[in-house]
Chain A
Amino acid sequence: MPWVTDIHPTTEELNACVQCGLCLPVCPTFRLTGRETASPRGRLHAMSAVHQGLVEVDEAFASILDFCLGCRACEPVCPGLVPYGRALEGARAEIVEQVPGRGNRRRWLLGAGLGSRSLMGAATTAVSLAQRLGLTRLAPGRLRRLASGMRKLSARPPATVGHTGGSGDAGTIALLAGCIQDQWFGGVNHTAIELLERAGHRVTVPVTQTCCGALAAHDGKAAEARRLAERNVRALGSADLVVATAAGCSAHLIGYGHWADGGQAMASKTVDVTVAVARAIEEGRLPRLRGTRGPIAVQDPCHLRHGQRVVDEPRMILRAAGYEVVEIDDAALCCGAAGIYTVLQPEASERLGNQKAAQVRSTGVSRVSSANPGCEMQLRSHLGSDYVVRHPIEWYAMAVDEEFAG
């Protein structure tokens, strides 16, 4: 077997695929290209070829796997219950180890930034300055695309790390702040804390926590992913409930069983913030509002819908606030953000982003709800400034403020 890591795709994972092809039509990259090599079945097939020693982990293999978004839309439709996302992480780890060029590019991109609060802080100050001076327009194409999707940053965003508050009648919550989320989407974390405390939770945002490790894991940096997971289990694992506000982070925490000792125990009490808030509304700990507030188009982040099968909660939250929920895409195809995909596969990312934007435009609704920072940026950059994109709990909190102010 030409695998060299201990997290390579396993015989069971690969044999679970009966090659029925039912995953093809839900795969965004297959839809774009019509190529089996860009489909879940094809990618598993390629992994099997390596597993059997028929081909090497080489450039050709790497390009098949690199084109995958990791959106996991292929999982819910699979009758064989193939754990595709897990197998993909294994295959990516192999690529990082065995295909020097590919590995380096990913290492460089992920670099030291994520997971280091001071570096993220420095980056944030720089971007905020650039935004104010209008320099983002001068950035090279791919980065300009990224920059145009960002929220307006303040040079020193009020981070939530270190916060503790709330009564705790409804139990304690440890909040994973998330590296990008806390610095660049801080509003979401503040809203989450406000709502969850109002719902009777004691919310802590422990300082000892770190990046969830999702990007490291998706991009093959296994040792790094393990180190981060273990640290978070120690930092967050003792609360009654662990909550993350970015769907990409919550999805990864739920898979901690693979990454850390005690990871499974923590995973079983981890939920996305939309689930925690929906639950509080359901149980009457947060209000249902009476007013009607017009339509909002709902985008489903892949890591929420496909990775966690959370579909109803964001809709329920919006409805409870009096918004009319407008669907944009039954199949919930990926918007093309997908972590660092925007940078690694700019063409496909661009096409998927445009496709998603067109779906939003065709609803005629200018307010959009998205529960993941990456998707939010992608949507904003493809939709332009006439559209407002916010997290569902932010839409909810805005309505609550309005109702109780008026």
Chain B
Amino acid sequence: MSLLAELRAVLGREDVLEEPVELYVYSKDASLMRGEATAVVFPQDSAEVAEIVRVAERHGVPIVARGAGTGLAAGASPTEGGIVLSTTAMTSLEIDPENRTAWVGAGVINLDLSKAAEPFGLHFAPDPSSQSACTIGGNVANNSGGPHCLAEGSTTSHVLGLEVVLAGGEVVTLGGDAPDTPGLDLKGVIVGSEGTLGIVTRALVRLLPIEPDVRTLLMDFPDMEGAARTVSQVIAAGLVPAALELMDQRMTVAVENWLHAGLPIDSAAVLLAEVVGETVGVESQAQLIADIGRANRAKKVQIAADAAERDLLWKGRKSAFGAIAQLAPDYYLHDAVVPRTKLVETMTAVYDIADKYDLTMLNVFHAGDGNLHPLIAFDASDPEVNRRVHQAGDEIVAICLKNGGALSGEHGIGVEKRDLMRTSFSELDLDAQARLKDVFDPGRVFNPNKILPEGSRCFDFGGVRREIPDGAWV
């Protein structure tokens, strides 16, 4: 039987898409890189996924898992062809309020999970800015984080167990609700593997109580140093804010031009901080942060009095993406973590690079964990500009790494950042990762040629050029 016929036999005609226009719609995620799928399938559960895996193995075609397709690294683009496996029909959800856990289908939307948990006073902590759309399966596969992961950690800290379909269509449950499951932490291997080791069908996640109270502060500074020092001192003071977000002046201006929200456009840096917990605690913590800010010459300190004011303070930060979408048709974004102490130094160097190549560069980032998202807004239709953007990008990564930083996988590595892996990992590291991939996926069906650069096993350098990501979140 042909591949399509077998898929139809497993799933029924309705759940297999094969029209050219339908396949085109599934040819990419939120990145720029396009692939070409042979079929799109919508399995309901792990049993159907297992059948699909066996069909793919028999025909030797890749399977690319796809959640909501909000990934920015082409992880869900079928760049090697094959079957796109959409998880959107796997939406089972069982909340266990007593144990504060939930078994969640891979296709459940992040925010839907938190909404379902709300009546029990619980929520799912990882909150990527795409949380209204992205799926739990995608969060697990990319080990996604968000503004509020500073205190609570990224997705991996909230996954207790996984139901995964492995090579040969074997369905396994890794981890579980016991505090420390015996043996190797194989669930930890799957988290962040971007669909290259198997298909996650369900996840057992930890739910946290909704914090009783919250304080949100917005401070603006005449220089980046003052803002950065405030961040360091807040953390040195033993506070663990739920969020610490920084916007530079160029970003503030771009947002203000779009939103007209009264943001302080003549300040070099705007810092947003949020603390959560019991009322007494958050009150004193907010005061402490305000004091630290003032000591570092904050010009104005605003503390939100109620939910409406809090939304207003967050509005600028949350609209950064929209402002950039307005600025230019394309963006180039890097995602790197640098030590907080090197924040200012790195930023200065990054600005210099942008100036050198005459490019519009904006910054808005998770300052608390030193996660930078230097971002260039440009028009990709001009090849000359394209070239400059590439060069600047490479130099930015180099300077981050030189300052003791690392590439962050928050947005996934996929194809977009695949070749940069060499800058972060030694040949030995890459070889080990490639061997791990071989163990899990001997037939090479699971999202081939993602994460690991070409020839990770035999060290042949050079080759594939990186594409420019668009639609970037910041």
* A interface with B by C-beta (< 8 Å): 15, 18-25, 34-37, 41-42, 45-46, 49, 54-55, 58, 60-61, 64, 77, 79-81
Contact = CB atoms under 8 A, between A and B. Distances in A.
Interface size of B as a range? 35 or more
B68 A24 contact: yes
Contacts of A15: 329
A24 B134 CA distance: 9
A186 B362 CA distance: 55
Given A21-B30, A22-B132, A37 B111 contact: no
A60 B30 contact: no
B308 interface: no
Interface stretch (B20-28, B139-147, B438-446): B20-28
Interface string B50-74: 0000000000000000001110000
Contacts of B471: 18-20
A77 B89 CA distance: 24
Contacts of B107: 34
A36 B322 contact: no
B322 A79 contact: yes
A19 B28 contact: yes
Given A18-B470, A22-B130, A45-B24, A36 B325 contact: no
A36 B130 contact: no
Contacts of A23: 133
B17 A21 contact: no
A15 B380 CA distance: 12
A286 B111 CA distance: 42
B30 A64 contact: no
A25 B109 contact: yes
A50 B112 CA distance: 34
Given A20-B30, A20-B471, A54-B24, A34 B86 contact: yes
A36 B40 CA distance: 10
Contacts of B447: none
Contacts of A18: 30, 325, 470-471
Contact of A80 (B21, B29, B68, B325): B325
Which label, helix, strand, loop or mixed, suits the secondary structure of the B interface? loop
B112 to A, nearest CB: 8
Contact of B20 (A35, A41, A55): A55
B294 to A, nearest CB: 34
Interface string B125-160: 000001011100000000000000000000000000
B321 interface: yes
B42 A34 contact: yes
A106 to B, nearest CB: 20
A91 to B, nearest CB: 12
A378 to B, nearest CB: 25
A35 B26 CA distance: 10
A378 B111 CA distance: 29
Interface of B: 17, 19-22, 24-26, 28-30, 42, 68-70, 86, 88-89, 91, 107, 109, 111-112, 130, 132-134, 319, 321-322, 325-326, 329, 470-471, 473
Contacts of B321: 20, 79
B24 A60 contact: no
B30 A36 contact: no
28 contacts: A18-B471, A19-B29, A19-B471, A20-B471, A21-B30, A21-B130, A21-B133, A22-B133, A23-B133, A24-B68, A25-B111, A25-B133, A34-B86, A34-B88, A34-B89, A34-B107, A36-B69, A45-B24, A46-B21, A46-B24, A46-B25, A58-B21, A60-B20, A64-B22, A79-B319, A79-B322, A81-B322, A81-B325
B21 A55 contact: yes
B97 to A, nearest CB: 20
A38 B468 CA distance: 27
Residue among B20, B91, B107 with max Cβ neighbours from chain A (10 Å): B20
A16 to B, nearest CB: 8
A23 B69 CA distance: 12
Nearest to A45: B25
Nearest to B28: A19
A381 B89 CA distance: 30
A338 B70 CA distance: 28
A49 B133 contact: no
A309 to B, nearest CB: 15
B70 A21 contact: yes
B109 A37 contact: no
Contacts of A21: 29-30, 68-70, 130, 133-134
Contacts of B19: 60
Contacts of A54: 20, 24
A46 B326 CA distance: 23
A77 B319 CA distance: 11
Nearest to B70: A21
B48 to A, nearest CB: 14
A108 B455 CA distance: 61
A17 B25 CA distance: 13
